[in-house]
Amino acid sequence: MDNNTWIQIRRDLHKIPEAGFQEYKTQAYLSQYIQSLECSFLELEPWKTGLLVKIKGTSATRTIAYRADIDGLPISEQTSYQGFRSEHPEYMHACGHDFHMAIALGILTHYTQQQPKENILFIFQPAEEGPGGALPMLQSEVFKKWLPDEIYALHIAPEYKVGQIATKPGLLFANTSELFIDLKGKGGHAAYPHHTKDMVVAASSLVTQFQSIISRNIDPLDSGVITVGVIKGGTKQNIIADSARLEGTIRSLSIESMKRMKQRIEALVQALEIGYECEASIDYGSNYCQVYNDPTLISQFIEFSNRQDQYELIICKEAMTGEDFGYFLENIPGFMVWLGVDSKYGLHDARLEPDEQAIEVAKDMFIQFFNSKVN
Ligand SMILES: CC(=O)N[C@@H](CCC[C@H](N)C(=O)O)C(=O)O
């Protein structure tokens, strides 16, 4: 099979992005493709809307795992693609999970043609963007049955060129927590603000106050992010809103800073209740632990990469992105790398157009790396 096969698979998957734990079409597509390989030493188990696929080794003593996330994002696509744009209105593979799946299928297909000595587990994990599929999958019976000894994954990186791979020992991605705040006040006529408790004003003030948490409560040598991505409130331009909702995310490199940011958010919300005579509630949604690359395995990979000439390895800085792959790494040694895809537009951008030539780079790299472990 040549590179066009994986590009076509990526395009097929690009057309059907689905929300976390709703990946029914994606699961069916993956399952159909894998079954079409008719491999006698392959076992497939669905898990919720994801899949686990085990390639049984000829004389296995260990299992290594490769994980791809499979969900899309609520974004209306604005790419220049012709013929394979998202068929799901308001949804898009804007974080590269279509690439991640196509690469995983490429590696998997290779090992159905050349049975390895050791087992390889392929994980197609739902809900990475939220609410998080990794943690419940880790706790599932099927995962425990096929528990791997090592685990690997990649993520596309628009800022790197095709042929570049970036990673680092230790901390790679941040700790994250979602943030949902509901405010309840008293609505009324726009002309009589003194009879109301305006929740649009309260919500706006809270967003502004949050900016001081990073600048005044977090050690400047540590890093923190509070992003409010959604403000909802109100029904009409001349009606004062009786409620409002903020939806956001909190990021930190250290656990201490995450705790401190949450403390400060809680204090500001409490003060807002007094200041704006309203009721407020906070929900932290799902939380992801940091992505921490195993020092021994990443050193092995760096040494391995320095002997390859098909790609260039870059030692990068940590990023404030989150990934529930961190939960796998908390329990199983392994690592994650960035895959250069050279897109003018970044992750979570409606115009993201990763370069499809990167699929082959990643597939070949992981096959070469795994060959040194499973044969
Ligand atoms: C790689 C990437 O973009 N991951 C997402 C993970 C989202 C976690 C959660 N839903 C949150 O928003 O906190 C990211 O936004 O970094």
Tokens of 202: 């309260």
Question: Is 297 in the same domain as 367?
Answer: yes
List the one residue out of 42, 12, 37 whose CA is nearest residue 26: 12
pLDDT above 90 (res 301):
yes
Q: Is 285 helix (H, G, I), strand (E, B) or coil?
A: coil
Whether residues 282 and 294 share a domain: the answer is no
Half-sphere exposure of 173 (CA within 13 A, CB side): 25
Beta bridge partners of 167: 315
CB 188 within 8 A of CB 240: yes
Ligand 1 center to residue 157 CA distance, Å?
Answer: 14
Q: Report pLDDT for 63.
A: 98
Half-sphere exposure of 276 (CA within 13 A, CB side): 28
- Mean pLDDT confidence for 291-308: 97
Q: Ligand 1: distance of its center to the CA of 321 in Å?
A: 6
80 and 123 inside one domain: yes
pLDDT band at 72 (very low <50, low <70, confident <90, very high): very high
Is pLDDT at 1 greater than 90 in this prediction?
no
Contact 187, 242 (CB under 8 A): yes
pTM: 0.95
Of 287, 322, 353, which marks where a domain is finished? 287
88 among annotated binding-site residues:
no
Q: Tell me, yes or no, if 219 is annotated catalytic.
A: no
Determine the pLDDT at residue 209: 97
pLDDT in tens, 160-205: 999 999 999 999 999 999 999 999 999 999 999 999 999 999 999 9
Q: Residue range 151-155: average pLDDT? A: 98
- Tell me if 130 CB under 6 Å of ligand 1: yes
What HEC string does 291-333 produce?
Answer: EEECHHHHHHHHHHHHCCCCCEEEECCCECCCCCHHHHHHHCC
Per-residue pLDDT at 261: 98
What pLDDT is attached to residue 336?
98
Distance from C-alpha of 68 to C-alpha of 196, rounded to nearest angstrom = 50
Domain carrying residue 83: 3-171+290-374
Q: Are residues 111 and 83 in the same domain?
A: yes
Q: Residues 167, 190: one domain?
A: no
pLDDT band for position 124 (cuts 50, 70, 90):
very high
CATH number for position 197: 3.30.70.360
Atom of ligand 1 nearest to the CA of 177: 13
Distance 226 CA to ligand 1 centre (A): 12
152 and 73 belong to one structural domain: yes
Whether 129 is catalytic is yes
Q: Does 162 lie in the same domain as 17?
A: yes
Q: Would you say 125 and 97 are in contact if contact means Cβ atoms under 8 Å apart?
A: no
Provide the 10 A C-beta neighbour count for residue 103: 29
Q: What is the distance between the alpha carbons of residues 39 and 34, in angstroms, rounded to a whole number?
A: 9
pLDDT of residue 6: 98
* C-alpha distances out from residue 330 to 119, 150, 210, 216, 324, Å: 21, 11, 30, 31, 10
Per-residue confidence (pLDDT) for residue 369, from 0 to 100:
97
Query: 76 falls in which pLDDT band (50, 70, 90)?
Result: very high
The long-range contacts involving 364-372, CB below 8 angstroms and separated by at least 24 positions, are 364/310, 365/165, 365/308, 365/310, 365/311, 366/66, 366/103, 366/107, 366/152, 366/154, 367/107, 367/110, 368/304, 368/308, 369/152, 369/301, 369/304, 370/64, 370/66, 370/107, 370/111, 370/116, 370/120, 372/304
Would the annotation count 45 as a binding residue?
A: no
224 and 90, same domain (yes or no): no
Catalytic residue among 71, 77, 118, 129: 129
Query: How much is the mean pLDDT over the chain?
Result: 97
pLDDT for the residue numbered 26: 98
Answer yes or no: do 138 and 18 share one domain: yes
Question: Quick one: tokens of 76?
Answer: 């209306």
172's tokens: 């790679």
CB of residue 298 inside a 6 A radius of ligand 1: no
For the stretch 21-31, pLDDT in tens is: 999 999 999 99
- Are 244 and 322 members of one domain? no
Across residues 205-230, what is the average pLDDT? 96
pLDDT digits (tens, 9 = 90+) for 87-118: 999 999 999 999 999 999 999 999 999 999 99
Same-domain status, 156 and 202: no
**Whole-angstrom distance, CA of residue 148 vs CA of residue 49:** 20
Q: How many CA atoms lie within 13 A of 115 on its CB side?
A: 11
- Do 280 and 132 have their domain in common? no
Number of domains, the chain = 2
